[in-house]
Amino acid sequence: MAAFAAVLRKDLRLELRSGESTVALLALSLLILVVMVFALDASRARGADAAAGALWVALVFSGMLGATRALLAERDNNCIRGLLLSPIEPSTLYAAKLAAAFIFMAIAEIGSVVLMVLFFNLNFDFTLVRIAPILALGTLGFAALATLLAAISNRTRMGDLLLPILAVPMFVPALIAGVKASSALLGGAPESAIAQWLKILVAFDVLFVTAGYLLFEYVARED
């Protein structure tokens, strides 16, 4: 836990000093939501389905940027080699990077939810609290997947193009579940109506958090 806290504290301190990741994620989320509002027909751009779809599209694209930023400092300064040679377990390093990416994405999600309410003429009510667990599960799952894939793509010359090609298709089942669950809750459906979608999100989180925890050592090392 001491090693985990040290790596996470370092990443958060760097972000507090620069603010680059948070600002970039919020700006990207704003851009995506604006494009979605103008791309959809005016009669459809105010419904729960459109709002949920736009929110999860913003989550996916900002998530890829957040996961990449969590590993960018180590790549640019070649610090990843020093971290892997240190007594820190690779699984602990993955957990710290996952936590940092999750925090960056969660901050962007809060901003995206506020913008979604404003752009799609929704209400600031208890409905936003109801969708919070769905967004948290989706954020955790995508952060786990993107952090693992970012460790692979950062070692290649075309890594910025490789990450979305790998991450988006693998996240499609969770993306569909998240959009369906969020749309149902925004439309006023009871929690029992989203049980099947919730199970898919939980299964996705367990799968990729476990996979990243076990495989990060092999995808991050250079030999």
**Single-letter amino acid code for the residue at 117:** V
- From start to end of the chain, where are the E strands? none
Nearest alpha-carbon partner for 52 in 215, 185, 147: 185
What's the sign of the alpha-carbon dihedral 139, 142, 145, 150?
Answer: negative
Query: pLDDT digits over 178-214, tens only?
Result: 889 888 888 778 888 888 999 999 999 999 899 888 8
Query: pLDDT digits over 47-100, tens only?
Result: 677 788 888 888 887 777 766 666 666 666 667 676 777 777 878 888 888 888
What's the pLDDT score for residue 169?
Answer: 85
Q: Which of 20-34, 79-93, 152-166 shows the lowest per-residue confidence on average (mean pLDDT)? A: 152-166
146, 66 contact by CB (below 8 A): yes
Which range, 41-50, 82-91, 154-163, is most confident?
82-91
Q: Which of 25-29, 140-144, 166-170, 193-197 shows the lowest per-residue confidence on average (mean pLDDT)? A: 25-29
Cut 0.85: pTM above it? no
Residue 223, pLDDT above cutoff 60: no
For residue 55, how many other CB atoms are within 10 A of its CB? 28
70, 103 contact by CB (below 8 A): no
Q: Where are the domains of the chain?
A: 2-220
Give the residue, 39 or 136, on which the prediction is more confident: 136
